[in-house]
Amino acid sequence: MTTGAPAPTADLEAGQRKSEPCKACHGADGNATIPGTPSLAGQPVFFTHWQLIKFRDGRRKDPQMTPFAANLSDTDMADLAAYYAAQRPQPRPAVTDSAKAEAGRQLASQHHCVSCHRPGLTGHEQIPRLAGQDLAYLVKLLRGFKAQTAGDLDGTMTTAAQPLSEADIENLSHYMAALPPVPAPPR
Amino acid sequence: MLRITLASVAVLVALALALGPLADAQQGQPPPPWKQGQPANMADSTLAPIAQPPAPKAAGEIPVDKIKVPAGFKVSLWAHGINNAREMVWGDKGTLFVSSRVAGNVYALVDKGDSREVKVIAKGLNLPNGIAFKNGTLYIGEVSRITKMVGIEDKLDNPPAMEVVYDILPRDLPHGWKHLAFGPDGKLYFNIGAPCNICVPPDTHANLSRVNPDGTGFEYVAHGVRNSVGFDWHPITKRLYFTTHARDWMGDDSPSDRFDVVMRKGQHFGYPYCHAGDMLDPEFGKGKSCNDYVKPILKTGPHVAGNGVEFYTGSQFPAEYQNRAFLAQRGSWNRSKKIGFRVMMVTIDAKGGVAKYEPFAEGWLQGDEIWGRPVYTRTMKDGSLLIADDYAGAIYRVSYSR
């Protein structure tokens, strides 16, 4: 017999119910439309869950998300992550610049983005889908990693972002935002 | 918090230049640390580090009966629900402190007889793998600092502030997490890993180091150590024995991970020039000789990922177990068929070398599927052995009765 925090078993219906307060920013089904706010639909379960943990313990900070995550239980996080992973990602409305996207495509190759984010930048496990993500959000996050304030799990992105110029960040973001939002493969 | 040192950026740049033909030809930037050193003929490999689950497994999802131990021993689930459970140390008053790595937490487990209560005493830390306990004080090793919580056992529900002991340490995250332990000399020992898979590290990296508990007297103990996150001192000879994770992307069966003993301060154990005592690195070994470096006393196997080392001095196990070393192997990712995911034991001979290397607990690997990763051990007061599993977020108890 042992006790401890009861380990969560993900529940999609509970996740949908618990996502009520998230809808105002992240959209009814995890497809956000507000510039600067990420879509969560089709993101890997591990990714969303780990981000919620980091918001709760303060490693990742955001004026909206920090207070929201403070009240989530481990089970809440598992349910929300499972719910969003099961939703179909839609393209974001932001207009992308094809010349910048082409420059970004070359940068993505030079910086080995697919090594972790996988071909098509679909993400997997704890690594997010970047394809079809919001343009302004991608710019914001890459700036955060470069400034060493975005709080990644193991430092990989902080290291990867150090050589990026502001123009690189913009070009990479246009490339990623313009890719079709293919969901991450299931675990 | 997550600052990268100038030294490490210089290393990465130098690495990108030095790797030359090994790296993809047209690519200007180094790949992520886990992929560095991957030769062109492995570029299509799908091998990648095993993702750490964000939540521990429920008790019902933990198949303890699959763990096989020698006759006379039995295994039970001692505690669960401890996200990413790693190192374990005992407090003076019977609290078991448990660290984590990417979960960023330090836990206190309070024994309630037939169950354990799990309290989070610190969170949001920077890969706080290392913990040690002495004279009522818990020491915590993060990537770039060692801190302490004085009198923690009396304040588990209202933990004291973390006071800095020593923070003049590299901030590099790759292999930056620490094993922390007090040596027989009363000094606090830890590792500073290589900030890469394979590179010529700065002089400040790839070593074992020590500092006095008040933060004075920093010094290097061993050099050429790629990534050691487990060591302990032999109960009789008081010599320091340690495991090391060897480099990746040199094939399924090479190089072997290693188990070593430090015979005197300042020895060099070969990284990045010579692996496992007899294999020159294809890039950095040019012009070097393995005879110039200390050879391991045991090759523990390729990619097994040896973490915890603990010499057994408990009173419960059969007499032949006295002073044997338990080696917890977290298991491979950079190998087409998985290996490790077990606790091995090493019998040390009269000369300090290895007489026997054999399994003690295995079964977390079933076929090529894993359900757990044993990462550290800790002997209980009654002589039972606890095994922490960071993948399942659980602690098992192995006990013996004749």
The predicted pLDDT at position B194 comes to 97
Query: Among partner residues B55, B77, B172, which is closest to A78 by beta-carbon distance?
Result: B55
Nearest C-alpha in A relative to B47:
A115
* Domains of chain B: residue spans and CATH: 6-36+67-400 (2.120.10.30)
Among B98, B102, B142, the strongest candidate for a mutation testing the A interface, having the largest count of A CBs within 10 A, is B102
pTM equals: 0.92
Q: In this structure, what DSSP letter does residue B145 have?
A: -
Domains with residue ranges and CATH for chain A: 12-85 (1.10.760.10), 98-178 (1.10.760.10)
As a whole number, the mean pLDDT across chain A is: 92
Question: How confident is the model at residue A10, as a pLDDT?
Answer: 79
Set of chain A residues whose Cβ sits within 8 Å of the Cβ of B57: 7
The mean of the pLDDT values for chain B is 93
CA distance B319 to A174: 67
- β-strands B73-80, B116-122 pairing: unpaired
Contacts of B221 (CB under 8 A, 6+ apart): B189, B207, B208, B209, B210, B240, B262, B265, B266
Q: What is the pLDDT of residue B341?
A: 98
pLDDT tens digits for range B105-118: 999 999 999 999 99
Show which of residues 56-95 on chain A sit within 8 Å of chain B, judged by CB atoms: 57-59, 74, 77-78, 81
Asked if the Cβ–Cβ distance from B58 to A6 is below 8 Å, we say yes
Average pLDDT over every residue of A100-122: 95
The predicted pLDDT at position A9 comes to: 65
Query: Encoding tokens for residue B304?
Result: 């097994």
pLDDT of residue B16: 41
Query: What span, in angstroms and rounded, lies between the C-alpha atoms of A9 and A146?
Result: 36
Q: What is the pLDDT of residue A87?
A: 96
What type of residue is B206? A
Say whether pLDDT at A8 is over 80: no
Quote the pLDDT of residue B97. 98
Q: Residue B20: its pLDDT value, please?
A: 38
**Nearest CA to CA, how far is A118 from chain B (Å)?**
10
- The confidence score (pLDDT) of residue B12 equals 45
Q: Are B304 and B332 in contact (CB under 8 A)?
A: yes
Put simply, whether A5 touches B (Cβ < 8 Å) is yes
Tokens, residue A82: 């499972």
* pLDDT value at residue A151: 81
The segments of chain B whose pLDDT lies below 50 read 1-26
Report the residue of B1, B24, B29 to disrupt the A interface, i.e. the one with the largest count of A CBs within 10 Å: B29
pLDDT digits (tens, 9 = 90+) for B350-379: 999 999 999 999 999 999 999 999 999 999
Residue-wise pLDDT tens digits, A49-77: 999 999 999 999 999 999 999 999 999 99
What's residue B10's pLDDT? 43
Q: Which of B244, B251, B250, B234 is nearest to B269 (CA)?
A: B244
How confident is the model at residue B19, as a pLDDT?
Answer: 41
